[in-house]
Amino acid sequence: MTSSFSNLSLAEPLARAVAEMGYETMTPIQEQAIPVVLQGRDVMGAAQTGTGKTAAFALPLLQRMMKHENASTSPVRHPVRALVLLPTRELAVQVAEQVKFYAKYTNLNSAVVFGGMDMKPQTAELKKGVEVLVATPGRLLDHIEAKNAVLNQVEYVVLDEADRMLDIGFLPDLQRILSYLPKQRITLLFSATFSPEIKRLASSFLQDPVTIEVARSNATASTVEQHFYSVGADDKRRALHQILKARGIKQAFVFVNSKLGCARLARSLEREGLKTTALHGDKSQDERLKALDAFKKGEVDLLVCTDVAARGLDIKDVPAVFNFDVPFNAEDYVHRIGRTGRAGASGLAVSFAAASDQRLVADIEKLIKTKIELEPMEFEEDQPRIKEQGRINDGRRMYRDTGDQAPREADSSAPRERREPRERREYAPRQPAQRDPFFDKPYESTLPAEAQPAWEEAARSNSTRSSVSANIKPKKKVAALFKTAG
């Protein structure tokens, strides 16, 4: 039995915002975390983005802050009381949007600060007085040093995506920030995985925390069909083209391990006729947001990205994720493939493993506690070897169904398929006008609703012609990501 928000006795302005979002029942993390946070306990939560974790901490914190709510315009009446720290700009913006929405009918102010942007507008916001400050650590330190942010009245701290903050090397920044805060406070730590480092961080900054787990840590979604193909470095692009075609995949994330590799691969795929954009740490904030927007609107088919850059992407139900490189860190495998097969949608995760990746594959096997079978990649006969230079497909942007042709040498006269950008979907079922849906828009197919993805059809008819390889095994059910609420 899932419980309703009405059982929480939230203050009327918060309940109104929740009702406007159209949420009917609480998600498992909300069910477990909200009462605990309302009681004022520290929390160590294992939950990933996409589980409703933001509301799980934002709503009870706002509820607890309601006693300070006032309509004064004086900044001193609106000191920072809650600090939410996140590893990436995109994630910070996403969380801040949600917090602003939940607080819209209250007099509690919120703001977001992150690097890569002019500090001035952020400073102006801070000077007005904000009760909830959402920030990335580096930029927050800049504001603290510039005396734009005073944190001596902070009562609540949220360390969100804590594992990633440590991966990025934010630990020294985090320690400095926490040293500016009052010792007496409530700390909430959320992390997709609980590595020994995270446990150490938690034990030094949390007091007698309640542990909440809605997803088995290090679990991958049961709805994701996972394949590992043995492919040499020179054949990976050819393999990617073949699988996209055979499966009729409309959009996909392609993960690589380095910024340089990311830019290079995106350029090659673009030359080969696939509408591709790259997302890596060297891209400016503006470029990253534009790339993300283009993907969400369906103007781009492939998003080639590195782990750090992709961390903040709240794009759900992308049909496929490719690990062009096997990640160096096994936990990144879980994060990467978590982009597909979310919330019950089926997804495909394909990894290309070269002979030298054996150890990395073994690490993943150990983490997900599932035997990985390396499948041989069998290339179709009509699939030409992909050359580094020149476009090689027939001018189509992606392979829409199994009837499409394999990539061929360039035919510059072929008309390029045009696709209308999709309409932006509303953020929530009953979305008010002022909410920018940019960051929460789930993946949407551009195919007509009745059209079946070609690979579904292929799987059903068990057609060997259209399948990727005769060696594809039936779906591997891996541990469930979401526990059913009960």
Binding site for ligand AMP (CB under 6 A): 23, 26-27, 30, 49-55, 314, 428, 440
Distance of CA 450 to the CA centre of its chain: 28
Write down the least CB distance from residue 124 to ligand AMP, Å.
27
Q: How far is the CB of 47 from ligand AMP (least distance, A)?
A: 7
Written as one letter, the residue type at 52 is G
* Shortest separation between residue 96's beta carbon and ligand AMP, angstroms: 12
Nearer to ligand AMP, 149 or 313 (CB): 313
At closest approach, how far in Å is the CB of 1 from ligand AMP? 15
State the minimum distance, in angstroms, from the CB of residue 52 to ligand AMP.
3
Q: Which of 139, 138, 104 is nearest to 13 (CA)?
A: 104
| Cβ–Cβ < 8 Å for 254, 339 | no
Please identify, using beta-carbon distances, which residue of 26 and 367 lies nearer to ligand AMP: 26
Q: Which is nearer to ligand AMP, 23 or 482 (CB)?
A: 23
Q: Which is nearer to ligand AMP, 287 or 426 (CB)?
A: 426
Distance CA 359, CA 374 (A): 13
- 91 versus 130: smaller Cβ distance to ligand AMP: 91
On whether the CB atoms of residues 18 and 103 are closer than 8 A, the answer is no
Lookup: tokens for 130: 């904000």
In angstroms, what is the minimal distance from the CB of 125 to ligand AMP? 22
Nearest distance in Å: CB 23, ligand AMP:
4
Q: Dihedral angle at the C-alpha atoms of 212, 217, 220, 221, nearest 10 degrees?
A: -10
Shortest Å, Cβ 104 to ligand AMP: 14
- The CB-of-118 to ligand AMP minimum distance in angstroms stands at 27
Distance CA 126, CA 124 (A): 5
Q: Chain centroid to CA 238: how far?
A: 27
